[in-house]
Amino acid sequence: MKKSASKTAKTVARKPLKAASKKLIDTGKKFYTHAYKPREMILDRGKGSMVWDLDGNDYVDLGAGIAVSALGHHNKDTLKALTDQAKKIWHTSNIFYTEPPVKLAEELVKSSKFAKRVFITNSGAEANEAAIKLARKYAADKGRPPEGRNIITFTGSFHGRTLATVTATAQPKYHHGFEPLPPGFLYCQFNDFDAIAKMVDKNTCAVMIEVVQGEGGITPVKPGFLKHLQELCHKHDALLMLDQVQCGMMRTGKLFSHFNEPGVKPDVVTIAKALGGGMPIGAMLVGERAENTFQFGSHGSTFGGNPLACAVARVVLKKIQSPPVVKNVRDRGKQLVDALKKIQKEHGLFVDVRGRGLMIGAELAPQWRDKAGDISELCRKNGVLVLQAGPNVMRFLPPLSITEKEMKEGIARLNKALAVFLQPSA
């Protein structure tokens, strides 16, 4: 990979929260709903895989805005695409054609090797919502009654925060307080070949699965599981729908994560996050079996296919498929995994380091269960931003363009934070 234009900063003493930052944080606490609990910092700018807060502290970004900033921060090519389009037209709605979404749809279809049509959304949840509606409509068009339109998802999954996608999310903690939930969703044990074979039947309209579970702990599907699902879906005329909102767009070393299992041809794939490189955009890609299911009036989105977002997404889609980025995902993924396994061997902090490409999870040993949040906060205080996947898994989703030097510095800061955590007095 070409080295970042910015020099990776060395670890220095953290500057304290200044009055201006404190005032902004207090204002946010006053006027935001309590749905989020942001870190006590104000991020101000970024370059490459580095970000700076308003107080001048630098951080190595190993989270990329939850797998969004695929090309890092302030990428010159995406910035040019955005500004060029901003000088032309920002919004028209889907009553009219504009060039960026038309071209993006064409490029997604050609890159996917399975899709025939695309529905562009603003987010991953909206892409999954569209997929759910598509599956139900597909079954309805086949003459199936409402009770014959069940969708099966898997334990540990995460599909979004809308009422339908949160119901599809087979984790009860996300359901609490939002009942009554929409009917027609069934849950199966993830990666259980026998259990899913017993569940898919004439009343199943779709099986929805993450190829690598993100919020569920960075857990990939077992080899052969997608093919198994494909056979079951074809047998019962159900749609195989792959949620690749987090694990797609080269995150696992392949443009689409199911490319890691040859012979899989899904009916629907949903993507978002990295597709826009920071711009809000998602998409539902539809294969031949269901390409004509949505007809005029079936679904819609006022902002879906926004020219600004699509102009940027076209650049992201092209750049993440370039040989240098593909190689970098492989090389930097190995660099990170090797470092985490070294920590595992030396300190016994982790019981497992898993994932694909630059989608890596490190599961904490039993004596440190429920401490992923504490560790991520210690990391922040030591100049490196990491994520968690539940209370027991540290999650790493750095920009696909992160340089070897940036990764090395991030690992050094991670080690410093972990040294503090592992101190007897910590």
**Nearest Cα to Cα of residue 400 among 274, 278, 258, 269:** 274
* Burial degree of 67 (CB within 10 A; 0-12, 13-18, 19+): buried
**Nearest Cα to Cα of residue 208 among 177, 164, 252:** 164
Helical segments of 174-322, H only? 193-199, 225-235, 307-320
CA angle, 126 then 127 then 131, to 5°: 115
Both 377 and 273 in one domain: the answer is no
Both 271 and 171 in one domain: the answer is yes
pTM here is 0.94
Both 35 and 91 in one domain: the answer is no
Both 296 and 276 in one domain: the answer is yes
Under a CB-based contact definition with an 8 Å cutoff, are residues 183 and 163 in contact? no
With respect to residue 10, please indicate whether it lies within any of the assigned structural domains: no
Single-letter amino acid, residue 414: L
Number of compact structural domains in the chain: 2
Residue-wise pLDDT for 142-189, tens only, equals: 999 999 999 999 999 999 999 999 999 999 999 999 999 999 999 999
Phi, psi (5° rounding) for residue 275?
A: -55, -40
Residues paired with 209 in a beta bridge: 242
Give residue 3's pLDDT: 43
Helix (H) or strand (E) holding 407: helix 404-422
With respect to residue 5, please indicate whether it lies within any of the assigned structural domains: no
With respect to residue 7, please indicate whether it lies within any of the assigned structural domains: no
Half-sphere exposure at residue 220, Cβ-oriented, CA atoms within 13 angstroms: 21
Domain at 246, CATH number: 3.40.640.10
With respect to residue 6, please indicate whether it lies within any of the assigned structural domains: no
* 216/225 Cα distance (integer angstroms): 17
Percent of all residues in the chain with a pLDDT value above 70, rounded to a whole number: 97
Domain holding 164, by residue range, is: 77-320
Picking from 270, 298, 320, the residue at the C-terminal end of a domain is 320
Picking from 320, 347, 368, the residue at the C-terminal end of a domain is 320
With respect to residue 177, please indicate whether it lies within any of the assigned structural domains: yes
CA angle, 206 then 207 then 208, to 5°: 115
Q: Helices 307-320 and 76-86 meet at what angle, rounded to 10?
A: 160
Please, what is the end-to-end C-alpha distance for the chain in angstroms? 38
Tokens of 149: 């339109």
Under a CB-based contact definition with an 8 Å cutoff, are residues 187 and 170 in contact? yes
Both 162 and 302 in one domain: the answer is yes
Give residue 12's pLDDT: 56
Residue-wise pLDDT for 381-407, tens only, equals: 999 999 999 999 999 999 999 999 999
Single-letter amino acid, residue 161: R
With respect to residue 11, please indicate whether it lies within any of the assigned structural domains: no
With respect to residue 72, please indicate whether it lies within any of the assigned structural domains: no
With respect to residue 397, please indicate whether it lies within any of the assigned structural domains: yes
Which stretches in the chain have pLDDT values below 50? Answer: 1-11, 426
Stated length of the chain: 426
Both 217 and 303 in one domain: the answer is yes
Both 31 and 56 in one domain: the answer is yes
**Locus of tokens 């401490």:** 371
Picking from 320, 339, 368, the residue at the C-terminal end of a domain is 320
Q: How far is CA 215 from CA 169, 246, 359, 360, in A?
A: 10, 9, 11, 12
Both 210 and 242 in one domain: the answer is yes
Residues paired with 356 in a beta bridge: 359
Give residue 425's pLDDT: 58
* 375/421 Cα distance (integer angstroms): 7
Domain at 368, CATH number: 3.90.1150.10
Both 32 and 131 in one domain: the answer is no
Give residue 13's pLDDT: 73
Both 283 and 158 in one domain: the answer is yes
Both 311 and 336 in one domain: the answer is no
CA of residue 200 relative to chain centroid, distance:
27
Under a CB-based contact definition with an 8 Å cutoff, are residues 353 and 344 in contact? yes
Under a CB-based contact definition with an 8 Å cutoff, are residues 156 and 171 in contact? yes
Both 154 and 39 in one domain: the answer is no
Give residue 111's pLDDT: 97
